[in-house]
Structure 1
Amino acid sequence: MNYYTIKDLETLSGIKAHTIRIWEKRYGLLEPLRTITNIRYYSDEELRKLLNVSMLVKHGYKISKVSVFEDKQIQQEVLKLNEKSLSSEGIIDQLIVSMVNFDHLNFEGILAQEIERIGFEETFMTVVFPLFEKVGIYWQIGSVFPAQEHFVSNITRQLLIRESSRFSNHQASSTVLFYLREGELHELSLLFYQYLALKAGYKTLYLGQNVPFDDLLKLEGMQKVDRVFTAFINGIEPDELNDYIQQMNAAFKRKKVFVTGAQLSLHHPQLPSNFKVVADVRAFKKYFGTLGERVS
């Protein structure tokens, strides 16, 4: 069982700690345990209850009314909200509740509903990636545990792979190599860019995360690749980044190389002329376009 401080509850629910204390005192909403030094701490069950209650309150329910609901009724009211069209923020709140509950079916159901409503690409842009920005912050401050992050990462990873498999571009005239260097393990954005390349008509060679550079060199005589795409997300020293880019330039000097990631904007490395920085999806579409059209 995991335990949370009142600050964790504030961060995850968006409800101020002062308000949580009032809800405890006035309505008996939560029953925190206390350490020997009299510091409140809360269980998984209490966090789940607060997340559900905060979602209802954010959507117009009165706390005085919700506080007398049984847990089952609270869950039923949350499900009713799920059937309505909510803002992206409301959808993200629901996904966080599902993450904390490890509720695989509900998490997938919410995403499926959004994909049906606004499309696959737009769902990832307005819901999934903002969700992971929040999860990343929560993880850094210790309010989300690794198992919870892995839970949502694996669901969205499988969703991207499943959607990408719809495209059969085996006869495409241009192939894009997608990979992450050794030590880079966060591949969701890479999978999404691969999906966009497939959608645009390219053939892709996807190697995924943590690829040794020597393995890339072995590809040269085995597989024809026209373009290379990678990301620099994890922390890296400026000199190490520059050295790696020079290695890439030597290996891929006759190819177009596309790079993305926070480390580029942080360190501003000198890029060879055949390198392009992909700042966002709009830039990716500009550089890749639809295969057969004129692209940069």
Structure 2
Amino acid sequence: MSTYSIKDLEQLSGIKAHTLRIWEQRYNLLSPKRTDTNIRYYDDADLKLILNVALLNDNGFKISKIASMEHQELRDEVMKLTERSLTHDDQIHALTISMIEMDEERFDKILSSNILKLGFEQTMLNIIYPFMSKIGVLWQTGAINPAQEHFISNLVRQKLIVAIDGQVTNGGGKKFLLYLPAGELHEISLLFACYLIKSKGHKVIYLGQNTPNEDLNSVYAMHQPDYLMTVVTTSPSAEQIQEYLDNLSERFSEAKILVSGYQVIGQDLRLPSNVEQLNYIRDIKERLEEIERVPQEK
């Protein structure tokens, strides 16, 4: 069981700590526990409650009404609201609740309904990426545990793989080699890039996570791609990234190299002439728009 401070509840729900304390006193909404040293903390049940309360409150329910609801009534209202609401923030909120509960069925239902309403690409750009960004920060600060982060990442990864399999190209277009450096395991952005590239009719050679240098060299020599793309989240480190990019530029001087990720964005890097930095996931889409779209087979 995870434990949370009132600041964690504020970050996850968007409700100010001051407001939470008022609700706690006025409506007996929360019952914080205390450590042996008398420090207040909250558990998973408290967090799930506050996430549900925040969603209803944001949609016009008065806090006095919410506080009088039984647990099942509260949950039912949230489910109904999630199913009919089209706002991105509400959907991200609902996904956060699914993550905390580790409820795969609910997560899948929310994701599938949004894909039907918005399409896969817009769901990724407007809901999944902001959501993943949010939980990435929460994971780094310890507000959620690694199991919850892995649970969500694997579900999103499954959706991406299915979507990629549904993209059929006719063999034309540019050739992209996608990989993650040795030691790098954060694959969501690279998978989405794969989806976008294939959706534009280009060919993708996908090597995925933790690619050894020798494997990258041999595949490049075999296929001679027009573009290499990688996302650097943790490896190589910020201290090593400049040397890594310089080396990459020299080894694959004939290719255009597209790089993104936490260790690249916002760093004071000297990019070689054949290396281009992509700051956001939308940059990938915009970059692809600059490359002539390949007609798809009917």
TM-score by length of 1: 0.91
Instruction: Using the TM superposition, name which of 147-156 and 2-11 deviates more.
Output: 2-11
| Corresponding position: 1:137 with 2:143 | no
Q: Can you list the C-alpha shifts for 1:186-212, whole angstroms capped at 9, x where unaligned?
A: 111111111110001111111112211
Pairing 1:125-274 to 2, within 5 Å after superposition: 125-169=125-169, 171-234=171-234, 236=236, 240-274=240-274
Cα drift, residue 173 of structure 1: 4.8
Cα drift, residue 241 of structure 1: 2.0
Distance in 1 of aligned mates of 2:285 and 2:77? 41
What are structure 2's unaligned runs of at least 5 residues?
Answer: none
Distance in 2 of aligned mates of 1:238 and 1:98? 33
Alpha-carbon spacing, 1:64–1:283, altered in 2? closer, same or farther (3 Å)? closer
Cα drift, residue 74 of structure 1: 0.5
Distance in 2 of aligned mates of 1:11 and 1:116? 30
Cα drift, residue 156 of structure 1: 0.8
Alpha-carbon spacing, 1:172–1:266, altered in 2? closer, same or farther (3 Å)? same
What are structure 1's unaligned runs of at least 5 residues?
Answer: none
Distance in 1 of aligned mates of 2:252 and 2:245? 10
Cα drift, residue 275 of structure 1: 2.4
The letter for the 2-side match of 1:207 is L
The letter for the 2-side match of 1:160 is L
Cα drift, residue 30 of structure 1: 1.9
Distance in 1 of aligned mates of 2:116 and 2:165? 18
| Corresponding position: 1:115 with 2:115 | yes
Distance in 2 of aligned mates of 1:127 and 1:149? 16
Cα drift, residue 8 of structure 1: 1.6
Is 1:3–1:41's contact at 8 Å kept on the other side of the alignment? yes
Q: Can you list the C-alpha shifts for 1:221-240, whole angstroms capped at 9, x where unaligned?
A: 43342321112232755662
Alpha-carbon spacing, 1:71–1:48, altered in 2? closer, same or farther (3 Å)? same
Instruction: Using the TM superposition, name which of 217-226 and 71-80 deviates more.
Output: 217-226
Is 1:181–1:211's contact at 8 Å kept on the other side of the alignment? yes
Distance in 2 of aligned mates of 1:287 and 1:22? 49
Helix, strand or coil for the counterpart of 1:276? Answer: strand
Cα drift, residue 86 of structure 1: 3.3
**What residue in structure 2 maps to residue 79 of structure 1?**
79
Is 2:2–2:144's contact at 8 Å kept on the other side of the alignment? no
Distance in 2 of aligned mates of 1:185 and 1:95? 23
The letter for the 2-side match of 1:191 is L
Distance in 1 of aligned mates of 2:166 and 2:159? 11
The letter for the 1-side match of 2:47 is L
Cα drift, residue 285 of structure 1: 3.7
| Corresponding position: 1:41 with 2:65 | no
Q: Can you list the C-alpha shifts for 1:112-165, whole angstroms capped at 9, x where unaligned?
A: 121111211111111111111111121122111111111111111111110010
